[in-house]
Amino acid sequence: LLQFLQSRPIDFHASTRPNSAFWDRVTSKTKLKPKDPSLDVVLTGDFNHPEGTLRVAFSNLDITLTSNLPPLRVSGVATTVDLSRSRLVLKEFQGFVEGQPIKLAADFPLPEKFDSSWKDALDWRRANVALHASGVELAAFTKFAPNILAPRGAEIGRAHV
């Protein structure tokens, strides 16, 4: 367990490179199965005013959405996330989802008071999200929503939320 002394400065650096035994253990209780992941974390500041950068890359990530669907395959990802006391910014997620090119950027305002729940802190309703999916073949996603998507058509385009 990590224990933070709120009155002391933070100077935390961590890195990991592809190591299947380590990542199998870390993700064993999740619905995520990464291949060749690397992670760099830098946190500075103090407990009340943290700043940091998270860099993540992996060749493949299989995400199990539900037991009756095949895993969603995300590949070729390299992304950077910046953290300040007031914001979490996904600078640019680039990669492929089911072989289709996707770019995503997001800016999440963080609450004034932060407890231990990231799920509550990252409020999608207050986020600014930009998705760019040029030339995407929708047929690649029909196995996940066969009653909604048809196996023809292309181009999701751009969306800003």
What tens digit of pLDDT does each residue of 1-37 get? 556 666 788 899 999 888 888 888 989 999 999 999 9
Could you read off the pLDDT of 117-127 as tens digits, one per residue? 666 677 778 88
pLDDT, average across residues 63-89: 91
Q: How far apart are CA 149 and CA 142, in angstroms?
A: 5
Residue 58 burial by Cβ neighbours in a 10 Å radius (0-12, 13-18, 19+): buried
**pLDDT score for 107:** 93
Question: Each residue of 30-72: pLDDT tens digit?
Answer: 999 999 999 999 999 887 788 999 999 999 999 998 888 899 9
Q: What's the whole-number mean pLDDT along residues 116-145?
A: 80
Decide if 105 contacts 92 (C-beta within 8 A).
yes
CA torsion sign for 66, 54, 13, 11 is negative
Residues in the chain: 161
